[in-house]
Amino acid sequence: MNGAVAGRRITCLSVYLLIAAALFLPSSASADPITVTPVRITGGSLVSDAEGRAQLIFAGTGGFGLSGAGSFRFFQPYNQCIDANACMPGDPISLAGHWDGSDLNGTMTFGGEVHPVGIWTEQNATTVFNFTGSVLAPAFDGSLTSEVSAPFMFNGQVFLPAVPPLHFLDVTGSGLATIRLRWSNTESERGWRFDGAAYTFDTATPVPEPGTIALVGFGIAGLAARRARRRPWFGRGSSPRV
């Protein structure tokens, strides 16, 4: 993210919060405090197939647990090595992935309570997740399949059901991403194509700093916009854009 974009987001933070309050809260409840709880992911993984469809199981501090399935809204390994062109040996492959709202459907637990996960409502929790990192496409050694691995970083928010007082989880973690690739050699294309991925979390990661209201505000803004537009759910990782 460049400085100009970050500046615009910070400048508009108060507007985002007002929009979220107007959409989700009764006027009498808009002054209630927002609780932000840091959660560290201590185990689990996300596994994606060749189409960007993924299943995940996360475990974290505070009795946090999340399981579900869905498609990335934006998934760079898929986008770079299928949609645009095949990746050539030595090309950098971003590990970046993003999903939010209805991209993920499942079940979460926290503090002994269980909530369905999907579009943010008074009954459902919802998520905003981001993966970052990069890896180089391998050399072609004659084998038609290959795997490359590199560390990734993870951050995001889990929004508990939209019932005041609002409670959000500021989630962080890290681990090792493994990207599966298959070699394509046709008249129109030559190079590596994405064939799946696994993001496996470290069992012990650094304790995160407490979540800030700015991070929560950015997440609320996206959810507010999605609720207003009610965009359709995408079945493939390549088509949608944030």
**Predicted confidence (pLDDT) at residue 58 exceeds the cutoff of 70:** yes
Q: Is 2 exposed, middle or buried (0-12, 13-18, 19+ CB in 10 A)?
A: exposed
What does the pLDDT read at residue 20? 52
What does the pLDDT read at residue 101? 78
Per-residue pLDDT tens digits for 175-222 = 999 999 999 888 778 899 999 999 999 986 445 444 444 455 555 555
- Look up tokens 């987001």; give the residue: 9
Peptide bond into 165 cis (omega under 30): yes
Q: In whole angstroms, how large is the CA radius of gyration of the chain? A: 19
Q: What is the rounded CA–CA span in Å between residue 29 and residue 115?
A: 22
CB neighbours of residue 9 within 10 Å:
15
Provide the 8-state DSSP code for 80.
I
**What percent of the chain stands above pLDDT 70?**
70
Predicted TM-score of the model (pTM):
0.74
Nearest to 152 by CA among 195, 202, 99, 103: 202
What does the pLDDT read at residue 86? 86
What does the pLDDT read at residue 224? 54
What does the pLDDT read at residue 52? 84
What does the pLDDT read at residue 80? 84
- Look up tokens 């996206």; give the residue: 222
Q: What is the rounded CA–CA span in Å between residue 58 and residue 43?
A: 6
What does the pLDDT read at residue 186? 81
**Predicted confidence (pLDDT) at residue 29 exceeds the cutoff of 60:** no
Which of 21-35, 101-115, 198-212, 228-242 has the weakest average pLDDT?
A: 228-242
Q: What is the mean pLDDT of residues 228-233?
A: 45
Q: What is the rounded CA–CA span in Å between residue 208 and residue 155?
A: 10
Q: What is the rounded CA–CA span in Å between residue 159 and residue 62?
A: 15
What does the pLDDT read at residue 230? 47
∠ CA 198-70-24, rounded to 5°: 130
Per-residue pLDDT tens digits for 155-181 = 999 999 988 888 999 999 999 999 999
Q: What is the mean pLDDT of residues 99-117?
A: 90
What does the pLDDT read at residue 78? 86
